[in-house]
Amino acid sequence: MKKIFFAIIVFYSCTQKETLPPSPVLPVPDNAQLAWHNMELNAFVHFTINTFTDKEWGYGDEGEKIFNPTECNPIQWASVLKEAGFKGLILTCKHHDGFCLWPSQFTEHSVKNSPWKNGQGDLVKEVAEACKQAGLKFGIYLSPWDRNHKDYGSPAYIKYYRNQLKELFEKYPDVFEMWFDGANGGDGFYGGKRETRNIDGKNYYDWPATLSMVKKIDTGVIFFSDAGPSVRWAGNEKGIAGETNWNTLTPDTLYAGKPGIEKLLNEGNENGSHWIPQECDVSIRPGWFYHANEDSLVKTPEQLFDIYLKSAGRGSLMLLNIPPDRRGLFHENDIESLRGFRKLLDEKFKTDQALHASASAKYYRGGSERYSAKNLVDGNDETYWATDDDQPIGSFEIDFRKNVNVNYVILKEYIKLGQRIKHFSIDVWKEGQWQNTANGTTIGHKRILKIDPVTTNKIKIEILDSKACPVISAVEVY
């Protein structure tokens, strides 16, 4: 009897053809990029000599004695950021003026010659430790352009820059992101020469050699620069990603600081050769550094929320700068705004009406439950709805079984298999028929659609064009 039962099971399994998952559409993100995408909120902290001179770009001739915060407390920065939902903090360890926030062995132009903590302080260390304590990732900004250094423009400076990078990565382990600024060359102090030095932005730094040196110390680090290689600039400093936003880019002729590439960086290349998503940098104030006369110009929670929708909500990451003041603290106004921003995020995205609602699709891959529409509403981003390979279009419906208020619809592509969708639409069921309420092009990691508030019991998403069969891991409705 047992034998017959076993034979039936074997026969049954042999006749059931397993439906294989879709093949990836290349390029796809690596693990470090995937983790980076999931962060959504990243913080920048611009703090240096400029905070005390009221400038945005120091000339490089500022004395070290100028740097003297009275109540400097990175623990405050980290805890405010943590509370607001940020996942990482990138510190300007050295901005264009060349002053170093750690006691570098390669220059005298650092905190070691400042009155702060009698020259015994190390702000990079303090910030790295505060981040660790708060559970934030720690990142480094080290300006390639150095208006203080006498050798800037010659090969000797490249050696200096690499020495400093090596020093930072060895002294402060677990750096998750390295930010290479594209602003390069121009006038400066340059060891007293006070002249203009222009560099050949494409070749001067020999970035491949520099990056491979850093990678040997920190294999998982994310490199930001205008053109990647891990993440790219968004082409503006307003924190706004392209409405069409391909994570893919062909970076062959691009390099940090190359003029005229803003639109390309903002939208990416549909058939780009590399996965290089954009990071949307923006400051909470008009300037990157603290200026008392901007205390009343701190972005409101509503403005920050709008930027979130246009960055993280377009599949990118929002990198928000909060500059500490002369005390070395986040200013009260900035903190208030950040708290308000968090409150808005929590309120707007409080209850996902689609979670465990009834989801259906006429077509799904191989008719297999493994790829059915219920995966869209199971709260698990690792499962997905997909169609057959010859179907670059498809649609699915969410039936709430009651009337719900809809303000935002969130869609997520399963980017581990590449970015695919080129065009989609959202309809709501109203007055006995489907009515179009939103349309979009790309989705990527996460797309948030703000729609005209509506009360409905059903919504329908149609994928109208895609590079290959669509693979969507979630729909959320708020």
- How far apart are CB 162 and ligand FUL at their closest, in Å? 21
Nearer CB in complex with ligand FUL: 181/325: 181
CB of 68 to ligand FUL, least distance (A): 21
Q: How many residues bind ligand FUL (CB under 6 A)?
A: 6
**226 touches ligand FUL by CB under 6 A:** no
- Of 183-202, binders to ligand FUL (CB under 6 A) are 183
Residue 181 CB, shortest distance to ligand FUL, in Å, is 5
Contact status: 209 vs ligand FUL (CB under 6 A): no
Q: How far is the CB of 301 from ligand FUL (least distance, A)?
A: 22
Residues linked to residue 249 through DSSP beta bridges, in sequence order: 274
Q: Which is nearer to ligand FUL, 181 or 476 (CB)?
A: 181
Which lies closer to ligand FUL via its Cβ, residue 42 or residue 442?
42
User: Which stretch, 35-43, 180-188, 304-312, 393-401, contacts ligand FUL (CB under 6 A)?
Assistant: 180-188
- Residue among 230 and 473 whose Cβ is closer to ligand FUL: 230
Q: Are strands 175-179 and 137-142 parallel, antiparallel or unpaired?
A: parallel
CB of 71 to ligand FUL, least distance (A): 24
CB of 287 to ligand FUL, least distance (A): 8
C-beta of 126 vs 281, nearer to ligand FUL: 281
Stretch that binds ligand FUL, among 178-186, 209-217, 347-355, 422-430 (CB under 6 A): 178-186
Instruction: Tell me which residues in 23-82 interact with ligand FUL (CB under 6 A).
Output: 56
- Measured from the CB atom, the residue of 127 and 357 that comes closer to ligand FUL is 127
* Nearer to ligand FUL (CB atom), residue 226 or residue 267: 226
Residue nearer to ligand FUL on the CB measure, 84 or 282: 282
- Tell me, residue by residue from 81 to 120, as one string, x for binding to ligand FUL by CB under 6 A and - for no binding: ----------------------------------------
Within 392-421, which residues bind ligand FUL (CB under 6 A)?
none
In the bound state with ligand FUL, the residue whose beta carbon lies nearer, of 182 and 188, is 182
When asked if residue 281 is in the footprint of ligand FUL (CB under 6 A), the reply is yes
Binding site for ligand FUL (CB under 6 A): 56, 181-183, 281, 288
